[in-house]
Amino acid sequence: MKPFIVIQTDFSLTWSAVSSMKGVMKIVDPTLQIEDITHDIKNFSPWEASMSLNTVEPYWPKGTVFVSVVDPGVGTSRKASVALLENGNYVVTPDNGALTHLLHRVGVKEIREIDETVNRFKAQEEVSVFHGRDLFGYCAAKLAAGLITFEEVGPAYPVSDIVECEEYYIKPVLGDCHAQGFIQSGLKHFGGVQMNITNEEWKKCGFQLGDTVAIRITHDGEGVFHENVLYHESFGYVKKGDPILYCGSSQYLCLDCNMDNFMAVYGIDSGKEWEIEFTKVGR
């Protein structure tokens, strides 16, 4: 059985880009099975691409070819790469930070730069801005179809040269019933946000289910949210529309509204400039 191809982009599904990518893959081999992670990664955010890959990768069979195209540097000198993970999976991506989490959790055994002279689709138009279709999708399809080996992707380069997102090294400040971090991602569909504080780190701070927590969010130092919020197991412990703080299935601390969109209601986004502070009320 040929390996699955599993793709994610920041393209959205509101235009033809994703379909064009899949079409080129099917031109390479009509029998390839192509699945989606998401096409709503935050625009131009390798950091969110890295987190998304890290969340999904453990739940696919060995040998799966992941394709991540979040590429603000398309057409520049950034490397187009294929990484062989230590567990046997592959990631086809711009080397711009999208490998950060997998590099640390799984490990990268070897990485190669795609040789465009042999592993680039010859499109009808000569452009340098659709590498998702012409380079990443095409090379991934050739690899999954068995038309090229990993060695035939292109020249290897040192794993130590892999670009990492600086956000990975911003660590939360943890104390007694107090914590500080930043909003590392937001879920567009439901509007919840996720902090760079793991569930394990949060619990070590001494917060208990049922605590009321004073939460302050700033954007570039300017206050945008300051409310007391219940910390509990899930949404149903607060009234519809009220914010709730909980430990998410992503293994990170999350903030959301019960049956409403926290990001939309309060004008919140994600990124290292969105700082957040938690203090137990009455401590």
**Residue-level pLDDT at 136:** 97
- pLDDT, position 259: 95
Whole-number pLDDT of residue 95: 97
Q: Strand order in 156-157's β-sheet?
A: 34-38, 5-9, 65-69, 90-94, 80-85, 108-113, 156-157
Per-residue model confidence (pLDDT) at position 77: 79
What is the structure's pLDDT at 18? 97
Q: What residues in the chain have per-residue pLDDT under 70?
A: 125, 127-129, 283
The architecture that CATH gives domain 171-280 is: Beta Barrel (2.40)
CATH number among 3.40.605.10, 3.40.50.10790, 3.40.50.150, 3.40.50.1000, domain 5-167: 3.40.50.10790
If DSSP codes are grouped into helix, strand and coil, which group holds residue 271?
A: strand
Q: Where are the domains of the chain?
A: 5-167, 171-280
Angle separating helix axes 17-28 and 138-145, nearest 10 degrees: 30
pLDDT in tens, 44-99: 999 999 999 999 999 999 999 999 999 987 777 799 999 999 999 999 999 999 99
Neighbours of 251 (CB within 10 A): 11
> To 5 degrees, how large is the angle CA 143–CA 146–CA 147?
80
Which residues are bridge partners to 107 per DSSP? none
- Work out the angle at residue 18's Cα, subtended by the Cα atoms of residues 17 and 23, and round it to the nearest 5 degrees: 100
Give the separation between CA 196 and CA 181, rounded to whole angstroms: 6
Burial 127-160 (b: 16+ CB within 10 A, else e): eeebbbbbbbbbbbbbbbbeebeeeebbeeeeee
